[in-house]
Amino acid sequence: MEKIEKTKMNKMNRTLKAEVLIEALPYICKFQDQKIVIKYGGHAMVNEDAKNWIAKDVVLLRFVGLNPVVVHGGGPEINKAMEKMGKEPKFIHGLRVTDEDTLDIVKMVLVGKINGDIVSKLGKYGGKAVGLSGKSGHLIKAKKKIQYVVKENEKVEVDLGRVGEVEEINTELIDILIEKRYIPVISPLGIDNYGNAFNLNADIAAGDIAGAIGAKKLIMITDVDGVMADINDPSTLYKKLTISEVEEMIEKGIITGGMIPKIEACINALNKGVESVHIINGKIPHSVLLEIFTEEGIGTMIVKD
């Protein structure tokens, strides 16, 4: 027989906890059975605390009836592995030039290390996760990406090696896994009809997958709070924007630098049929839950006009 000491304080806390759970109810109800793609990237992939936050958030989404699908990138880890193996990373227009050796390293790091780590973390918190490269079940059919650069005022094709772009997403395998309540964790590798693998841009691939499986939302985990009027002033965060607004902001130079390809990936996802794309900061604890389950959200939501 155990007795318990109940103080008034304790009672209040408990009730508060329950209230918080209940506050999530309308959101849980609203997003029931819907697919949500989470593009996992940036700082949150290397910080142990952030890894745990995000894994817990994703597992919770699954348990409360949503169907999360994780797509991850891998930038810094690939560079680290290349250096270890004595290769120097090289980029053109933000795309990694990928020779055969580099592709091997990309595959090993993305699929062999990062993907497995995410799967382990999700498993640790009770989720049934399945790691997939784009090769499994012909998931991502890709082709070589033709890239042009402007050189002496002329548009010239450059060879990026084994860099590809998505031709078609074969959703059968994802659908089977989701139906059986698994969480697919996808590495951005594509394959062509001859069995050749290609390195893909994870942001774009996440949007292609989100569109193909009919996801409601695409959550982009980044290292910034969202789109801000002044990048140094968090109070200037835009909560909600439309495609034409962000396009105007790019034109006007408000959105610049590394945020531009991110925004282009968001627009790609919206064009593929996703209802809203959310740029959130992976450094904020549980930012995924906060974005989905609170009224005001935490980052920038972009929608169609």
**Could you tell me which stretch among 5-13, 91-99, 152-160, 212-220 binds a copy of itself (CB under 8 A)?**
5-13
Which residues within the stretch 191-210 sit at the binding site for a copy of itself (CB under 8 A)?
191, 194-195, 197
214 interacts with a copy of itself by CB under 8 A: no
Which residues within the stretch 7-26 sit at the binding site for a copy of itself (CB under 8 A)?
11, 14-26
For the bound state, the minimum distance from the C-beta of residue 291 to a copy of itself, rounded and expressed in Å, comes to 10
- Is residue 199 marked as binding? yes
- Is residue 131 marked as binding? no
What does the buried/exposed string (b/e) look like for 75-111 if buried means 16 or more CB atoms within 10 Å of the residue's CB?
eebbbebbeeeeeebeeeeebbbbeeebbebbbebbb
Give every CB contact of residue 274 below 8 A, 6+ residues apart in sequence.
Answer: 37, 207, 210, 211, 215, 216, 217, 218
159 interacts with a copy of itself by CB under 8 A: no
Distance from chain centroid for Cα 133: 15
Residues 191, 197 contacting (CB under 8 angstroms): yes
For the bound state, the minimum distance from the C-beta of residue 220 to a copy of itself, rounded and expressed in Å, comes to 18
Distance from chain centroid for Cα 65: 20
For the bound state, the minimum distance from the C-beta of residue 238 to a copy of itself, rounded and expressed in Å, comes to 6
Residues 269, 262 contacting (CB under 8 angstroms): no
For the bound state, the minimum distance from the C-beta of residue 25 to a copy of itself, rounded and expressed in Å, comes to 5
Three-state SS for 163? strand
Which residues within the stretch 59-118 sit at the binding site for a copy of itself (CB under 8 A)?
59-60, 63-65, 81, 84-85, 104, 107-113, 115-116
56 interacts with a copy of itself by CB under 8 A: yes
For the bound state, the minimum distance from the C-beta of residue 151 to a copy of itself, rounded and expressed in Å, comes to 35
- Is residue 94 marked as binding? no
Applying CB under 8 A, the site for a copy of itself has a residue count of 90
- Of 57, 82, 210, 278, the one binding a copy of itself by CB under 8 A: 57
Is 171 buried (19+), middle (13-18) or exposed (0-12) by CB count in 10 A?
middle
- Is residue 75 marked as binding? yes
